[in-house]
Amino acid sequence: MTKVFNVAKVREDFPILKREVNGKTLVYLDNGATAQKPQTVIDALTKYYTHENSNIHRGVHTLSQEATSAYELTREKIQGFINAPEKESVIFTKGTTDGINLLAFSLGRDFVQEGDEIIISAMEHHSNIVPWQMLCEQKKAVLKVAPINQRGEIILEEYKKLLNPKTKLVSIVHISNTLGTINPIQEMIAMAHEVGAKFIVDAAQSAPHLKIDVQALDCDFMVFSMHKVFGPTGVGFLYGKKELLEVIPPYQGGGDMIKTVTFEKTTYNELPHKFEAGTPNIAAGIATSAAIDYMNQLDWNAVHLHEKELLDYATAQLKLIDGLRIIGEAKEKASVISFVIDGVHPYDVGVIIDKMGIAVRTGHHCTQPLMDWFKIPGTIRASFAFYNTKEEVDLLVVALKRALQMLR
Ligand code: 7TS
């Protein structure tokens, strides 16, 4: 059966898209911050608390066994979603930030020593900067930053120059949350491997937009958050090559991550449980299955075409606005558009268009060094999902023009 992509029909699956904000139908263009949830995900959360609530990985009773099976089924679905070779390589986390902190701690302990180097890029989210700064400070290691060009693309020749035998880790965003740039990570991973460095992919923004294949990319680690992939908050995933996850130490100690405990010595559980201490967000973990099922029934070729059309249309329409400048014009770009407008502050624009029902994000988008690089205080950002429409782009443009009349 061919899968069809019908945006009007898809919108029916997301109840929040029908609500009004300030007397106007919501136009939700803040998908980079978090995506809306289909009814099936909302139902799965309710069903868990209504019928299934119990702790996992410990009970002999029926409810606990059912919850454990449902939770572990999600792991298998994520394995399929990112094409991981085995399910033990898929670790539940709280989200992208949690995954990067886990790696900074667990990889950092033995793998990074004084004088070693870690490479990030100029367009990283704070959560892919600060944990590495903290590690470098502790270990007296050196953080290097791969520069970008005016279009907002990493300059590969400069990245290459940074790589050397002292480079232990490279941690790079797949799609920039601020610029929309799709980085050539497959190439960057191969280059890092040539000097023996391990590569971490921050897939927070790519998981909702691109088909992810960790084996084809050959990344050593990948992190993402489910709340940006039409799933619940409070759950995310870390993928790691099994041989690496086997040798690095656990992140947090506690229940579930142990095999045996005495006061003298503790032995750790096998993968993936070694990295999953304590009771997790079980409801969100289980409801993640519904989000993955939802993603899997979409025709992704059609989704890509639709998102590309939205990006091209919105870019063209926005450029017609007097004094508007787009920040981030990479050749390879996802449906995220940041812009500034002469003479007005992004925040003021955001507040006024909210009154017209339009949700965008304004500010630095947790990429302050990137804002400094562009010498701007912040941007207005419209980030689209597959359920957005050209009509919503038109509403954004009308709202911006009205805001400018009021502010100028
Ligand atoms: N990395 C990238 C590229 C992101 O876009 C974000 C969140 C994170 C990491 C952190 O993810 P979390 O789920 O752990 O918070 N980005 C955004 C954003 O663009 N607007 O709000 C959050």
- The whole-number average pLDDT for the span 339-365 is 97
Contact 203, 222 (CB under 8 A): yes
Residue 348 confidence (pLDDT): 97
For ligand 1, whether the C-beta of 173 sits within 6 Å is yes
271-292 pLDDT, tens digit each:
999 999 999 999 999 999 999 9
What ranges make up the beta strands (E) of 220-284?
221-225, 236-240, 258-261, 266-268
pLDDT confidence of residue 5: 75
Average pLDDT rounded to a whole number, residues 74-85: 98
Give the pLDDT score at 113.
97
Query: Alpha-carbon distance 275 to 247, whole Å?
Result: 12
- Segment 215-258, tens digit of pLDDT: 999 999 999 999 999 999 999 999 999 999 999 999 999 999 99
C-alpha distance from residue 155 to each of 125, 162, 221, 325 (Å) = 18, 11, 22, 22
Indicate the pLDDT class of residue 340, thresholds 50, 70 and 90: very high
pLDDT of amino acid 2: 52
State the pLDDT at residue 58: 81
Atom of ligand 1 nearest to the CA of 174: 3
pLDDT in the model for residue 59: 79
Residue 208's pLDDT band (cuts 50, 70, 90): very high
Of all protein residues, the one whose alpha carbon is nearest to atom 17 of ligand 1 is 33
| Whole-number pLDDT of residue 73 | 98
* CATH code reported for the domain at 43-296: 3.40.640.10
- CATH 3.90.1150.10 residue window(s) in the chain: 7-30+299-407
- Kindly tell me if the per-residue pLDDT of 1 is higher than 70: no
Residue from 344, 381, 400 nearest 29 by CA: 381
In the residue annotation, 219 being an active-site residue is answered as no
Residue 333 — pLDDT band, cuts 50, 70, 90?
very high
Residue 361, C-beta contacts closer than 8 angstroms, at least 6 positions apart: 30, 32, 33, 350, 380, 381, 383
β-bridge mates for residue 338, sequence order: 327, 381
Regarding the beta carbon of 125 and ligand 1, being less than 6 Å apart is answered yes
Domain 7-30+299-407, classified CATH 3.90.320.10, yes or no: no
* Nearest atom in ligand 1 to 124's CA: 3
45, pLDDT greater than 80: yes
Over the stretch 114-158, which tens digit does the pLDDT of each residue have?
999 999 999 999 999 999 999 999 999 999 999 999 999 999 999
- Return the pLDDT at 159: 98
Are the CB atoms for 201 and 221 separated by under 8 Å? Answer: yes
Q: What is the pLDDT of residue 4?
A: 57
Q: What's the chain's average pLDDT?
A: 97
3 state SS of 377: coil
Q: Candidates 31, 34, 125: which one to mutate for ligand 1, based on the most atoms within 8 Å of Cβ?
A: 125
The neighbour count for residue 243, using CB atoms within 10 Å, is 9
Q: Is the dihedral of CA 332, 334, 335, 338 positive or negative?
A: negative
171: Cβ below 6 Å to ligand 1?
A: no
Residues of the chain with CATH 3.40.640.10: 43-296
pTM to 2 decimal places: 0.98
Residue 364 pLDDT exceeds 70: yes
Residue of 366, 389, 390, 394 marked active site: 366
Q: Is the dihedral of CA 379, 202, 206, 149 positive or negative?
A: positive
Indicate which atom in ligand 1 lies nearest the CA of residue 383. 19
User: What is the rounded distance in angstroms from the CA atom of residue 220 to the CA atom of residue 207?
Assistant: 16
Of 182, 201, 366, best ligand 1 pocket probe by most atoms within 8 Å of the beta carbon: 366
| pLDDT band at residue 3 using 50, 70 and 90 as cut-offs | low
